[in-house]
Amino acid sequence: MPDFEIENSRRGIIAGVDEAGRGPWAGPVVAAAVIANQSTIPSGINDSKKLSSDKRELLFEQIMQNCLVGVGIASAQEIDDLNILQATMLAMRRAVLNLQSIPDLALIDGNKTPDLPCKAIAIVKGDAKSLSIAAASIIAKVTRDRIMCKLANDHPFYGWESNSGYGTKKHQDGLAKHGITAHHRLSFKPIKAIICENVG
């Protein structure tokens, strides 16, 4: 389980930063930054991928109430314009800038750090090590899932309310029958292939 060992080894105000949505074929990439108070942090926080949807939703509300949170979003168009890595870095930067105050240090899940107005350290599998990063992973995941559910109301053929934009069979069937939308990532290979078929 993640803990505060990394945070406690550093001084100053520390934020954990994580993202959700690098792999899907549609929708934005969402990042979150969380500054956690160790005395009020909710119990049960873990890497969002290891939690049920109901548990994530519960923890989301508790984290929002008890921690400082910033969220950053990079759109599908920005993903196409920049590439998914750079769009992720942009979303992370926006998340940190959207915090109530800029931290002294940002702990970034992964092996790369975005351009930030504070020090940053990349931590591979950080959501399994740092409670601050794990909390950020929950905020990012729930926020993105909610966005995809809203988009699914306007585009009901792709199963985004359940697959979050990943390339499931329902998503593939929707693309085959109804084509691409403004929310699809045109630079991703499966979507590129559909565009090429239509042009051909």
Instruction: Write the CA distances from 30 to 9, 117, 138, 191, integer angstroms.
Output: 28, 19, 11, 20
- Extents of the domains making up the chain: 5-199
Structure tokens at 64: 């929002």
- Biggest CA–CA distance in the chain, Å, is 61
Stretch 147-155: mean pLDDT, rounded? 98
pTM exceeds 0.95 for this model: yes
Stretch 141-148: mean pLDDT, rounded? 98
Q: Apex CA 54: angle with CA 138 and CA 162, to 5°?
A: 85
pLDDT at 178 over 60: yes
Res. 200 pLDDT band, cuts 50 70 90: low
The helix-helix angle for 131-154 and 53-66 (nearest 10°) equals 120
Q: What pLDDT score does 69 carry?
A: 98
Q: What pLDDT score does 197 carry?
A: 83
Cβ within 8 Å of residue 190, ≥6 positions away: 25, 167, 172, 175
Percent of the chain with pLDDT over 90: 96
Tell me the pLDDT tens digit for each residue of 123-139: 999 999 999 999 999 99
Would you say domain 5-199 falls under CATH 3.30.420.10?
yes
Percent of the chain with pLDDT over 70: 99
Tell me the pLDDT tens digit for each residue of 58-97: 999 999 999 999 999 999 999 999 999 999 999 999 999 9
Per the prediction, the chain carries an average pLDDT of 96
Count of alpha carbons within 13 angstroms of residue 124, beta-carbon side: 1
Res. 198 pLDDT band, cuts 50 70 90: confident
